[in-house]
Amino acid sequence: MKSPALRSSQVNRTSSLIDFGIGQPGFDLLPLDLMRQSAEVRFAEGDTELLNYGYEQGDGRFRQALADFLSAEYASPVGPEQLMVTAGASQALTLICTLFTQPGDTVFVEEPSYFLALRILREDFRLNAVPIPSDENGLRMDALEIALAQQQPVFVYTIPAFQNPTGHTLSAQRREELVALAHKHNFTIVADEVYQLLHYNATQAALPPAPLAARTESGRVLSIGSFSKILAPGLRLGWIQAAPEVVQRFVTCGLVDSGGGLNHFTSNLVRVALEKGSQGEYLAGLREIYRRRIDVMDAALHRHLGGMARWQKPDGGYFFWLEMDEGIDTAALLSAAHTAGVGFLPGVRCSSVGGLGNCLRLSFAHFGEAEIEEGVARLGRVLSEE
């Protein structure tokens, strides 16, 4: 392992630990050749604008290429005027909080939710993040209505497709209800749709409903997207899709007035991948790899954890969400699991209220099929010793 001073990646893989807590693509999946070829094409053009400050909203030709890509993937039209380029989804959320919230403001979040988004909301922006229960159809509208009767949120943060951590998807009907409630109660929907395109089962029933991005004309929806999950996280490239007048609020902020468009250079390389179709091909390959990994993890879970945990086989995203019997404390099991050579994210990390102690999240994105089989076997041994 490299010394801390020389570290380059956020996660370091040790040779023996199969850490299903890592919610990132495996290093072997990262598209080095695709990016090298994209860079060669762009550099060969000899255009120094590549290295200038970028246009505040994001390079126009990149936004056009992204809009074309999304229109095809979403099967609903997206225009470049609806897109604001960001340095990833985390920065998109940060920018939204910077511009639309004050410390102490209330926002609603799903229970459970993406643990690091909770950090951004609570620790970076000191927001009052109120948890709203969810179930296998996503955020519960009955619970949301009750909460709305008591408190006024600036926004509701939701991960509508293949949610992190549960893998659940917000149903089409609830999407309608959510948009209607946003109008009625005057709040914004911040839809973190980073998993929308990561669906692995092409049957119609398994595809997520149309993204909330398709509802931005309401002026109530800010949809966040990212290349982290469909290309590479180190690119730090993402976007906010919103109504053009809402996008202007981002375009005129001091950050881009001073620094120019976000990630101008990288977006220019990724434009080549979008235009040449290599982004689409790469995504098709990822879907195939992840679909197989889900099958392997599901079969291994049945073999090694059957009777010890409950889960639903996901149709997309990155995660399996496991529920054990009440009384099992998954956080307390983590150090025994590490000793046995396997890791996971304890459910309590994803809860805003210190709950879900009997749950855990497993990611199938980082490790290949053989390691998934071995890691689940190790987990089964740890749990059966309980």
Q: Does 90 bind ligand PLP (CB under 6 A)?
A: yes
Q: Does 164 bind ligand PLP (CB under 6 A)?
A: yes
Please, which residue, 115 or 380, has the CB nearer to ligand PLP? 115
Does residue 126 come out as left (phi exceeding 0), alpha (psi in the -120 to 50 range) or beta? left
Whether 303 contacts 309, CB under 8 Å: no
Q: What would the two tokens of residue 186 be? A: 């005057």
Whether 26 contacts 369, CB under 8 Å: no
196 secondary structure, DSSP code: T
Within 13 Å and on the Cβ side, how many CA atoms surround 23? 22
One character per residue 226-245, x = contact with ligand PLP (rule: CB under 6 A): x-x----x----x-------
Please, which residue, 148 or 227, has the CB nearer to ligand PLP? 227
Of the candidate residues 120, 159, 333, 334, the single one contacting ligand PLP (CB under 6 A): 159
Q: Does 158 bind ligand PLP (CB under 6 A)?
A: no
Spatial separation of the C-alpha atoms in residues 320 and 361, rounded to whole Å: 6
**Interface with ligand PLP by CB under 6 A: which range of 82-90, 94-102, 293-301, 303-311?**
82-90
The DSSP result for 117-162, as a single string, is HHHIIIIIS--EEEEEEEETTEE-HHHHHHHHHH---SEEEE--SS
Q: Does 213 bind ligand PLP (CB under 6 A)?
A: no
Q: Does 269 bind ligand PLP (CB under 6 A)?
A: no
Q: Does 114 bind ligand PLP (CB under 6 A)?
A: yes
Q: How near is the Cβ of 356 to ligand PLP at its closest, in Å?
A: 17
Q: Does 110 bind ligand PLP (CB under 6 A)?
A: no
Q: Does 193 bind ligand PLP (CB under 6 A)?
A: no
Beta strands in the chain (DSSP E): 18-19, 83-86, 106-111, 128-135, 138-139, 155-158, 188-192, 221-226, 238-241, 309-310, 319-324, 342-343, 345-346, 359-363
Spatial separation of the C-alpha atoms in residues 338 and 22, rounded to whole Å: 13
Please, which residue, 194 or 340, has the CB nearer to ligand PLP? 194
Q: Does 58 bind ligand PLP (CB under 6 A)?
A: no
Please, which residue, 23 or 316, has the CB nearer to ligand PLP? 23
What are the backbone dihedrals phi and psi of residue 89, each rounded to the nearest 5 degrees, phi first? -70, -35
Of the candidate residues 19, 59, 105, 192, the single one contacting ligand PLP (CB under 6 A): 192
Q: How near is the Cβ of 10 to ligand PLP at its closest, in Å?
A: 10
Of the candidate residues 25, 31, 58, 88, the single one contacting ligand PLP (CB under 6 A): 88
Q: Does 111 bind ligand PLP (CB under 6 A)?
A: no
Selection from 139, 138, 134, 103 nearest residue 121 by Cα = 103
Total residues in contact with ligand PLP, by rule CB under 6 A: 14
Q: Does 165 bind ligand PLP (CB under 6 A)?
A: no
Selection from 383, 377, 367 nearest residue 13 by Cα = 367
Q: How near is the Cβ of 34 to ligand PLP at its closest, in Å?
A: 18
Selection from 278, 286, 381, 370 nearest residue 37 by Cα = 278
**Interface with ligand PLP by CB under 6 A: which range of 83-91, 283-291, 304-312, 347-355?**
83-91
Selection from 315, 292, 293, 380 nearest residue 341 by Cα = 380
Q: How near is the Cβ of 306 to ligand PLP at its closest, in Å?
A: 28
**Interface with ligand PLP by CB under 6 A: which range of 1-9, 87-95, 261-269, 336-344?**
87-95
Spatial separation of the C-alpha atoms in residues 332 and 325, rounded to whole Å: 14
Rule CB under 6 A: which residues touch ligand PLP?
23, 88-90, 114, 117, 159, 164, 192, 194, 226, 228, 233, 238
